[in-house]
Amino acid sequence: MKQFEVPSFYRSPLISKIKANRKIEDPRKKDFRPSKIQLGDFTFLLARHFGFCYGVENAIERSYKALAENPGKRIFLLSQMIHNPAVNEDLTANGIQFLQDTNGKQLIDFATLTPQDIVLIPAFGTTLEIEQQLKALGLDIQTYNTTCPFVEKVWNRSDKLGATAHTIIIHGKHQHEETRATFSHAASSAPALIIKDMPEAEFLGAYLKGQKTPAEFLVFFEGKMSAGFDPSLHLNKIGVVNQTTMLASETEAITNYLRTVMIDLHGEAEIKNHIADTRDTLCYATNDNQTATYGLLEEEADLALVVGGYNSSNTSHLVELLEQKFKTYFIKDADEIHADQSINSFDIHQNELSKQNHFLPNQKELKIVLTSGASCPDSIVEGVMKRLLSMRYSEDEVTALCEQFA
């Protein structure tokens, strides 16, 4: 796989060494057991796969290339490059400005842009409508388009589904940038519908089985359908694609459920005429990180830490998995861990940050599960490890312990 030029301050000597060792031991990525790192009284269980994925590294490389190649020019990002505050803050510190926030709210009027300005499309991609607006202003949006190739793969699959008269069901969060972009691309060639989770899939199934009326359907999915969507016409032949950062297991479960509904309605012999096989749209990095998280769930530990941006979809799903077994804390970086043994952890259910005291168990030896989202730099994960160690060891002792691996 391609090696990207990412600023060195995103890298971690400690984590790089651990990942390099695992790559030598398991070059074909068949072993999803965690790496067990003993540092003093702490045993860290690091997920087999975590941190920057292909799409994120590609986006960061292109962003810094835009800065290097365009001195003196105004450089804009359509919205957050990725969902990690440290990365986005660094880009803004280098002079890049955001045109929109993550919800699509305008921060800088497009009308103020000129053809001499540089505009970067983020890793999530963007809608066809925004692409057309920017092109109409004479802006080049391809040179520094950082859309993840795995997101584009979903768009390409959607185009093919549209060409064969399928309605496209998108498993995603309808306000997420990637889902908005995928919906726009899908709806340009076919009827499209967004469903968030299994309960929404089951509502769709209930409609297909005649248990819900068209009026109920239209109310339930308001704002999540393409223009002119008619459930009585557009649900006879479907294909499921996803927001690449959703739980892969949930996408598969939704697809399997809808396939079962279609078999009940049309029979096994006719199933290929009513639902497409779209398993090829699942992102490899999402799959690897989530499978590695299942590997963590096979272990015993005192607590789990997940590191990443609080608005990161793929990171929140890692939390969702780990909290099934462990007391799990979701933090953006080491600054959320305090010397008084309190921690600021983000609650994905209440959508809020809360302080929790004495989060470390009162025992000599600790076993801690540790992973991060696909948009989190390894340097931040190393910082978390060092902050935990500093609660029991001096700065020199922490350095000595980490140098065992770096």
**Could you read off the pLDDT of 341-358 as tens digits, one per residue?**
999 999 999 999 999 999
- 48 and 60 both lie in a single domain: no
Catalogue the active-site residues.
Answer: 178
Residues above pLDDT 70, as percent of the chain: 99
pLDDT at 61 over 80: yes
pLDDT for res 284: 79
- 376 and 255 both lie in a single domain: no
Instruction: Note whether residue 222 is domain-resident.
Output: yes
| Number of compact structural domains in the chain | 3
Return the minimum-mean-pLDDT range out of 3-12, 300-309, 335-344, 368-377.
3-12
- 295 and 390 both lie in a single domain: yes
Tokens of 388: 């935990």
Name the domain boundary from 281, 302, 325. Answer: 281
Instruction: Note whether residue 125 is domain-resident.
Output: yes
Residue owning tokens 């600790």: 366
What is the pairing mode between strands 97-98 and 343-347? unpaired
CATH number reported for the structural domain that contains residue 24 in this entry: 3.40.1010.20
pLDDT at 243 over 80: yes
Instruction: Note whether residue 20 is domain-resident.
Output: yes
- 117 and 166 both lie in a single domain: no
CATH number reported for the structural domain that contains residue 58 in this entry: 3.40.50.11270
pTM for this entry:
0.90
Q: Distance (Å, rounded) from C-alpha 143 to C-alpha 118?
A: 9
pLDDT at 110 over 70: yes
Helix and strand tally (H, E) in the chain? 13, 13
Name the domain boundary from 110, 136, 162. Answer: 136
- 44 and 68 both lie in a single domain: no
- What b-and-e string marks burial along 273-284, b requiring 16 or more CB atoms within 10 Å of the CB? ebbbebeebbbe
Q: Which domain holds residue 227?
A: 149-281
Instruction: Note whether residue 26 is domain-resident.
Output: yes
- 387 and 341 both lie in a single domain: yes
DSSP state of 319: H
- 153 and 275 both lie in a single domain: yes
Per-residue pLDDT reduced to its tens digit, 274-301: 999 887 677 778 888 999 999 999 999 9
Instruction: Note whether residue 3 is domain-resident.
Output: no
pLDDT for res 406: 59
- 239 and 319 both lie in a single domain: no
- 303 and 270 both lie in a single domain: no
- 255 and 165 both lie in a single domain: yes
Instruction: Note whether residue 1 is domain-resident.
Output: no
- 164 and 271 both lie in a single domain: yes
- 156 and 256 both lie in a single domain: yes
Q: Distance (Å, rounded) from C-alpha 293 to C-alpha 329?
A: 15
Instruction: Note whether residue 144 is domain-resident.
Output: no
Instruction: Note whether residue 142 is domain-resident.
Output: no
pLDDT for res 46: 98
**How many residues comprise the chain?**
406
